[in-house]
Structure formats: structure tokens, C-alpha cells
């Protein structure tokens, strides 16, 4: 038995030594959300640069975070959402990025750079973004029923709303209608938001983050808070389902390229980030994936129908009220959790 | 002969290795983690503490436990009401038909229960199969609200767990000596009387086994309530998942999971002793 263990350990060491010896900058280990980059884009990058891209995928920020934190090597680029950029940056899990080495970085719209979760983009390069806002089925509700976030509290919407099954988004809309930040840390404001949301509970029929478009399309719910990607699909199947950006504000998400601590192919990582930010590539990605590109030049290259669609490409004025989710400190997250559990257990 | 005994050892040995590596060791890690604290730099922090278990004693957790137990209990009862007549008919039918009927009970079981739950969404939703059929038949004018109701959750649980009820009941009913039923009839008892005074008492171990087999998994099937019920209330399963995935509080999730497992283990132990006693009584 002991011999076997020794043999396995030796094999592992030999393997580790040879792989690190082979580690040249002609390889890029990309760790990204599943179905989040078209194969053609990756193939084209490899053809142009001779860099082989190894892709591994994840389906939650938490999974990616745990791997980077516990294993700490083997990836050259990860793609966290804004709040996880904040968390990983603060915990020292990311390597600084020199934006001067990425010429196309200048094309990123001002709306997406220098945000609170990563001032001056010292650690993150925006990849794709979207919003969580209000979808309304105008077949079931007159258009003027919901124009503001606070309209969701109207008594005639009893049992007719859908919400994400996500404490940050639900507590976020409560905070926004009271004029607070979605990243609020003040316990008194959180308490008020909780009381506000208690009054919203009778109106909520479903909490669903997986496929909220189903309930909307089936007519099970008349309106609610959904991700713009879901609203986009629902709207393309039924144009009566519209998407509004309430004046009180809403949450924005942004996924960014980051270089995790322990990355070994920095040159390849920089080359990849710059390549993705070239307008043609960014546009191709946005079109294939159905999410919005933060690249100003890329938007002009999109097909007309997508360019005009305010669900995927809202005007800067429309998203001015949006706010990015940032990471919360452990004590504040406990408060959010406590209120979320209370909302759901009454 | 030596060869076959070596083969047997290998077979048994591999089963034990499998159990130790994939069940015992992960569970021990979970058990140890439940006494640690969440860390800032690492996922857990060393130091012994019972605070996770203390945190479990809260009104919110009790409320979740109550909802979970109520849901699982009603699901077990409904499964019994649906499953007993089926198992009874199954045990009475001809020996040729029985394997076929058992096969029909088992086939859906081969599909992942999450997929079957999503399939139920297609049946139950406002423009789903059930509503379309009822409307085409002119039985209803407006679609029924089936999705996101308590009824939908019970339909989902009963549908998923019914085989667990039918199989032990079938085994128990097959074991009932038909001469006892005949004796009852001969002595003038009507069908109802023989059923409730002979068949039901003799199948009690099967009833208890079926109820346990439905109740225990139902306690953990939070996704059925999420997908079909609209996730408006929180169950113990949701709580454990969220501790791991959202709050990154692995020790807390581990403590909740260990507590739930211990509670289930106690119930199984209780069942074990109860069935032993029943068997002894039956022998006498």
C-alpha cells in the first residue's frame, strides 16, 4: 500500500515538473462562465497569435472563487462579476493589470470604467454587461400600470409578480425605491428596506433566477424583476413583453477579465484581452451571446435590430440610474441574509 | 475454490473502498467543518466551536424545519393514500401482469428527478398540457392556476416519490397469507372488515417502511418546492444550499446538514426498533 502511494506521488511530481517546464507563453488557460465565448472567436485568436487556449468553465462566481482561492494556480484569465472583482481584489487574489498594455481598452465606454468595485481598473477589464430591471407583459397590464419601481407595490398586482431568487436583487429593489444604494451597509436603511419588502411579498407569485422567461411567456405572471438577457428572449418571442428602466434605479452587472494570482502566461493574457476588445470581435461576441458589449465601437457594428433594442442596448441616459453590485462585508451580508430569511419564513 | 473467494474479497473490498472514499470521508470532513468557523482568508478557520449549532436554535430555522416536516409528512400521507390501492391491486393481479406493472412504476424512476420536475412544469403551467386539454374539452373557460401553488408542490413530490411507497407496500401485501383473509371471510366478516382488521395490520411494517422512504427524501427535496411552488418559502434544504453557495459559510451549512442527518438517522433507528418489535409480535 505504501509503495502505491509513493508511486502515485512520484508520478504526480514528475507530471507537475514537466507541465511547468512546458509552460511557455504560447498557452492561455481561460476560466470562464459556461457558454460565454463563441468557439470561433477562440479559434481565430489561436490562428492569429499561435497561442493555444485551454478553456475550463464554471456556472457560478462562487465556484470560480473557491477554485482560485484554494488551488491558486493553473488559470491565466478568470471572468468574475463586479461584486466578485471587488471581493477578489480586496483579498489579494488578483494580479494588477496595466491598461497601457491593452491599446483597445480606450474603447470601453466611460460608464464601465473606474467603478467602485475596481477604481482605475487596476485589476479588471470589462467583458460583457447587462441589467436586472422590470419586465411588463402589456397584454395583461395596461402600459401605464408600471412606470416606476414603486409601482410594483400596487395592490392590483397581488400574486402577479416574478422576482429573482436572489437576495441582493430583491433587497436591492427595496433599497432603490427608498432612494438608497443597492450596496447599502447602513443597518437602519436595511431595516426600512425590509419593512418595505414585507409589503411587496403578497404581490410576488414566484422567485426564479433560472428561467424567469418561462413564467412570463406562459402568462403565469404579469410583470417582475428579471435579467435583461431573459427579457430579451421573452420579448423576441412575445413583443408585448416590454422592459423598462425605472427612474429610482436598478442593478447593473458587469463581468470582467481578471488575471488571478498564480497566472503563468501574462503575455498571452494581455494579448487575449486586447484581441477581445477589438471592435469586430466584441461585436461578434455580443451578437452570438445576446449580451451587451461595453465596447463603444463594437455597438456600431451590431445588426440594426440589436442596435435599436433597448433591452440589450439601452441609451446611456437610460442606464444612468443603474448601479453595479459590489461585494458586501461579512457583517452586512449577515444582515441581508437575516432579512432575506425573515421575508421567506415570515 | 481459492479463486472465487479472492474474487469475493475483491468485490466486497471495492464496495467498502467506494463507501469509505465517497461517503464516509466526505461526511467526516463535513462533520469536522461543522465545528469550525468561516475564515477571511481561508474557507474555514481553525479552532473548535459549537457556535454554529447554537445559531441553529433560532425562530427562523425552527420555522423552516416546521415547513419542511409538514411538507414531507403530507407528501408521505398522500403517497400512502395513492400507493396503497395501487399496491393492493398490483398484489391481486395475475402473475403475468405483475412484472409489467412493476416495470411501469420503475421506468420513470430512471430519469433524473430534476428533469421530471421540469417536465411537470410543462404539464401544469397556464398554457400547459393539462389546461389545454381541459379547455379543449370545454370543462373550463379560463386556465386553472396550477403552477406555483401548494398543490403543484404536492403533485411533484408524490409523483417523484411514489415508487418508494409502492414497492415496500407491494412486498408486504404479497407476504400476507391469503388463508388468513379467507378465514376472515368464512367467519362472516365483510370486505371492509377483513381489509382493516387483517390486511392493514399485517402490512403495517410495509406502511411504515414506505412512509419513511418517502418522508426522509422529501425533507431534502427543496428544488421541487422551488421549481413548482415558486420558492416563496424557505426549507431546510434551501438554507443549507445557501450557506454553502451564497454566504460562503461552510461551517454553518455543515452544522445544519449534520443536524438534519442525525435527525434522519434517529428516525431510521426508531423505525428499526419499531419494525423489530412488530415482527416479534407477529411471530407470537
Backbone phi and psi for residue B37, each to the nearest 5 degrees, phi listed first: -120, 150
Residue B170 near residue B102 (C-beta atoms within 8 A): yes
Q: What are the residue ranges spanned by the domains of chain A? A: 2-128+254-313, 130-252+323-345
Contacts of B67 in chain A (CB under 8 A): 345
Confidence (pLDDT) at B67: 93
**Is A218 close to B147, i.e. CB distance below 8 A?**
yes
Confidence (pLDDT) at A17: 44
**Is B125 close to A344, i.e. CB distance below 8 A?**
no
Q: Which of B230, B233, B235, B248 to mutate to test the interface with A (most CBs of A within 10 A)?
A: B230
Nearest C-alpha neighbor of A102 from the set A123, A86, A73, A129: A123
Q: Which helix (H) or strand (E) holds A135?
A: strand A125-137
Residue in B with minimal Cα distance to A167: B246
Nearest C-alpha neighbor of A168 from the set A344, A326, A58: A326
Note the CATH number of domain A130-252+323-345: 3.40.190.10
Residue A176 near residue A248 (C-beta atoms within 8 A): yes
Segment B186-214, tens digit of pLDDT = 999 898 999 999 999 999 989 999 999 99
**Segments of chain B scoring below 50 in pLDDT:** none
List residues of B whose CB lies inside 8 A of any A CB: 38, 40-43, 60, 63-64, 67, 121, 125-128, 143, 145, 147-148, 226, 230-234, 239, 242, 245-248
In sequence order, which residues have a C-beta less than 8 Å from that of residue B235 and are 6 or more positions away? B64, B67, B68, B71, B222, B225
Confidence (pLDDT) at A66: 85
Which of A21 and A311 is assigned the larger pLDDT? A311
Q: Report the DSSP pairing between strands B44-45 and B37-38.
A: antiparallel
Sheet harboring A77-78: ordered strands across? A52-58, A27-33, A77-78
Output the nine-digit C-alpha cell for A107. 474603447
The CA distance from B268 to the nearest CA of chain A, in Å, is 28
**Domains identified in chain B and CATH numbers:** 53-283 (1.10.3720.10)
**Is A341 close to B60, i.e. CB distance below 8 A?**
yes
The CA distance from A61 to the nearest CA of chain B, in Å, is 9
Strand-pairing partners, residue A207, are A163
Residue A277 near residue A105 (C-beta atoms within 8 A): yes
Alpha carbon distances (Å) from A165 to A185, A319, B249 = 21, 23, 19
In terms of CATH, what superfamily is A2-128+254-313? Periplasmic binding protein-like II (3.40.190.10)
Contacts of B245 in chain A (CB under 8 A): 60, 62
In sequence order, which residues have a C-beta less than 8 Å from that of residue A184 and are 6 or more positions away? A175, A190, A193
Q: Is the pLDDT of residue A71 over 90?
A: no
Confidence (pLDDT) at B277: 84
| Average confidence score pLDDT of chain A | 90
Q: Is the pLDDT of residue A7 over 90?
A: no
In sequence order, which residues have a C-beta less than 8 Å from that of residue A107 and are 6 or more positions away? A277, A279, A295, A296, A297, A298
Segment A210-236, tens digit of pLDDT = 889 999 999 999 999 999 989 998 999
Nearest by CB to A345, from B128, B147, B233: name it.
B233
List residues of A whose CB lies inside 8 A of any B CB: 60, 62, 65-66, 69-70, 91, 165, 167, 201, 204-208, 214-215, 218-220, 330, 333-334, 337-338, 341-342, 344-346
Q: Is the pLDDT of residue A11 over 80?
A: no
pLDDT level of residue A18 (50, 70, 90 thresholds)? very low
Output the nine-digit C-alpha cell for B32. 469536522
DSSP-derived secondary structure letter, B38: E
**Is B41 close to A337, i.e. CB distance below 8 A?**
no
Q: Do A2-128+254-313 and A130-252+323-345 share a fold?
A: yes
Nearest by CB to B63, from A330, A334, A345: name it.
A345
The CA distance from B112 to the nearest CA of chain A, in Å, is 18
Work out the angle at residue A159's Cα, subtended by the Cα atoms of residues A156 and A165, and round it to the nearest 5 degrees. Answer: 130
Segment A148-195, tens digit of pLDDT = 999 999 999 999 999 999 999 999 999 999 999 999 999 999 999 999
Contacts of B125 in chain A (CB under 8 A): 214-215, 218, 220
Backbone phi and psi for residue A64, each to the nearest 5 degrees, phi listed first: -65, -45
Segment A235-263, tens digit of pLDDT = 999 999 999 999 999 999 999 999 999 99
pLDDT level of residue A14 (50, 70, 90 thresholds)? very low
Side-chain-side CA neighbours of residue B188 (13 Å): 0
Q: Which helix (H) or strand (E) holds A205?
A: strand A204-207
Q: Is the pLDDT of residue A342 over 90?
A: yes
Q: Report the DSSP pairing between strands B37-38 and A241-244.
A: unpaired
Q: Which of B41, B149, B231, B242 to mutate to test the interface with A (most CBs of A within 10 A)?
A: B231
How far apart CA A266 and CA A272 sit, in angstroms, is 10
Q: Which helix (H) or strand (E) holds A250?
A: strand A250-257
Segment A249-305, tens digit of pLDDT = 999 999 999 999 999 999 999 999 999 999 999 999 998 888 899 999 999 999 998
Residue A94 CB burial class (10 angstroms; 0-12, 13-18, ≥19): buried
Q: Which of A337, A338, A340, A342 to mutate to test the interface with B (most CBs of B within 10 A)?
A: A337
How far apart CA A264 and CA A45 sit, in angstroms, is 19
Can you tell me which residue has the cell 429610482?
A248
Q: Which residues of B162-192 are buried (b: 16+ CB within 10 A; e: fewer)?
A: bbbbbbbbbbbbeebeeeebeebeeeebeee
Backbone phi and psi for residue B199, each to the nearest 5 degrees, phi listed first: -65, -50
How far apart CA A278 and CA A297 sit, in angstroms, is 8
Q: Report the DSSP pairing between strands A241-244 and A125-137.
A: antiparallel
| DSSP states of B60-129 | HHHHHHHHHHHHHHHHHHHHHHHHHHHHHHHHHS-TTHHHHHHHHHHGGGGS-HHHHHHHHHHHHSTTSH
Residue A108 near residue A126 (C-beta atoms within 8 A): yes
Backbone phi and psi for residue A231, each to the nearest 5 degrees, phi listed first: -65, -35
**Is A205 close to B128, i.e. CB distance below 8 A?**
no
Nearest by CB to A205, from B40, B148, B245: name it.
B148
Amino acid at each position: 500500500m505504501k509503495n502505491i502511494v509513493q508511486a502515485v506521488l512520484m508520478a504526480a511530481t514528475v507530471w507537475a515538473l514537466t507541465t511547468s517546464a512546458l509552460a511557455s507563453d504560447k498557452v492561455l488557460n481561460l476560466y470562464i462562465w459556461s457558454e460565454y465565448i463563441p468557439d470561433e472567436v477562440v479559434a481565430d485568436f489561436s490562428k492569429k497569435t499561435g497561442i493555444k487556449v485551454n478553456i475550463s468553465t464554471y456556472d457560478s462566481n462562487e465556484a470560480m472563487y473557491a477554485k482560485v482561492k484554494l488551488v491558486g494556480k493553473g488559470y491565466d484569465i478568470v471572468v468574475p462579476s463586479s461584486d466578485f472583482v471587488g471581493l477578489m481584489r480586496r483579498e489579494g487574489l488578483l494580479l494588477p493589470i496595466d491598461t497601457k498594455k491593452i491599446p483597445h481598452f480606450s474603447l470601453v465606454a466611460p460608464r464601465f470604467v473606474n467603478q467602485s468595485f475596481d477604481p482605475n481598473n487596476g485589476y479588471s477589464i470589462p467583458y460583457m454587461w447587462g441589467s436586472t430591471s422590470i419586465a411588463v407583459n402589456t397584454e395583461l397590464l395596461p402600459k401605464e400600470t408600471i412606470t416606476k419601481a414603486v409601482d410594483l407595490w400596487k395592490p392590483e398586482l397581488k400574486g402577479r409578480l416574478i422576482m429573482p431568487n436572489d437576495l441582493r436583487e430583491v433587497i436591492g429593489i427595496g433599497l432603490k425605491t427608498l432612494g438608497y444604494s443597492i450596496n447599502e451597509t447602513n443597518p437602519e436603511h436595511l431595516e426600512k428596506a425590509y419593512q418595505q419588502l414585507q409589503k411587496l411579498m403578497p404581490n410576488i407569485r414566484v422567485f426564479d433566477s433560472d428561467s424567469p422567461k418561462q413564467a412570463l411567456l406562459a402568462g403565469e405572471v404579469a410583470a417582475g424583476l428579471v435579467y435583461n438577457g431573459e427579457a430579451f428572449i421573452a420579448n423576441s418571442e412575445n413583443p408585448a413583453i416590454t422592459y423598462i428602466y425605472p427612474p429610482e434605479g436598478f442593478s447593473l452587472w458587469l463581468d470582467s477579465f481578471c488575471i488571478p494570482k498564480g497566472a503563468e502566461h501574462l503575455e498571452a493574457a494581455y494579448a487575449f484581452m486586447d484581441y477581445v476588445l477589438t471592435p469586430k470581435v466584441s461585436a461578434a461576441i455580443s451578437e452570438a451571446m445576446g449580451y451587451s458589449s461595453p465596447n463603444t465601437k463594437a455597438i456600431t457594428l451590431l445588426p440594426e435590430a440589436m442596435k435599436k433594442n433597448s433591452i440589450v442596448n439601452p441609451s446611456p441616459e437610460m442606464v444612468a440610474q443603474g448601479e453595479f453590485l459590489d461585494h458586501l462585508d461579512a457583517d452586512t451580508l449577515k444582515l441581508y441574509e437575516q432579512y432575506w430569511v425573515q421575508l421567506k419564513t415570515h | 475454490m481459492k479463486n472465487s473467494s479472492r474474487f469475493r474479497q475483491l468485490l466486497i473490498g471495492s464496495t467498502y473502498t467506494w463507501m469509505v472514499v465517497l461517503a464516509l470521508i466526505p461526511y467526516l470532513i463535513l462533520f469536522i467543518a461543522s465545528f469550525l468557523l468561516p475564515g477571511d482568508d481561508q474557507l474555514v478557520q481553525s479552532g473548535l466551536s459549537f457556535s454554529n449549532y447554537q445559531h441553529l436554535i433560532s425562530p427562523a430555522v425552527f420555522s423552516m424545519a416546521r415547513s419542511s416536516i409538514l411538507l414531507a409528512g403530507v407528501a408521505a400521507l398522500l403517497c400512502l393514500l395513492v400507493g396503497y390501492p395501487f399496491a393492493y391491486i398490483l398484489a391481486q393481479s395475475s402473475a403475468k401482469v405483475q412484472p409489467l406493472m412493476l416495470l411501469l412504476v420503475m421506468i420513470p424512476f430512471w430519469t433524473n428527478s430534476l428533469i421530471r420536475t421540469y417536465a411537470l412544469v410543462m404539464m401544469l403551467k397556464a398554457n400547459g398540457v393539462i389546461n389545454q386539454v381541459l379547455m379543449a374539452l370545454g370543462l373550463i373557460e379560463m386556465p386553472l392556476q396550477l403552477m406555483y401553488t401548494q398543490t403543484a408542490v404536492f403533485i411533484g413530490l408524490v409523483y417523484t416519490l411514489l415508487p418508494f411507497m409502492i414497492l415496500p407496500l407491494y412486498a408486504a401485501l404479497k407476504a400476507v397469507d391469503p388463508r388468513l383473509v379467507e378465514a376472515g371471510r368464512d367467519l362472516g366478516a365483510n370486505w371492509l372488515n377483513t381489509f382493516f382488521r387483517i390486511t392493514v395490520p399485517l402490512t403495517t411494517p410495509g406502511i411504515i417502511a414506505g412512509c419513511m422512504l418517502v418522508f426522509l427524501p422529501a425533507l431534502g427535496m427543496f428544488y421541487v418546492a422551488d421549481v413548482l411552488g415558486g420558492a416563496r418559502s424557505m426549507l431546510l434544504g434551501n438554507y443549507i444550499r445557501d450557506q454553502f453557495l451564497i454566504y460562503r459559510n461552510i461551517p454553518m451549512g455543515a452544522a445544519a446538514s449534520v443536524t438534519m442527518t442525525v435527525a434522519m438517522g434517529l428516525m431510521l433507528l426508531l423505525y428499526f426498533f419499531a419494525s423489530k418489535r412488530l415482527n416479534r409480535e407477529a411471530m407470537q
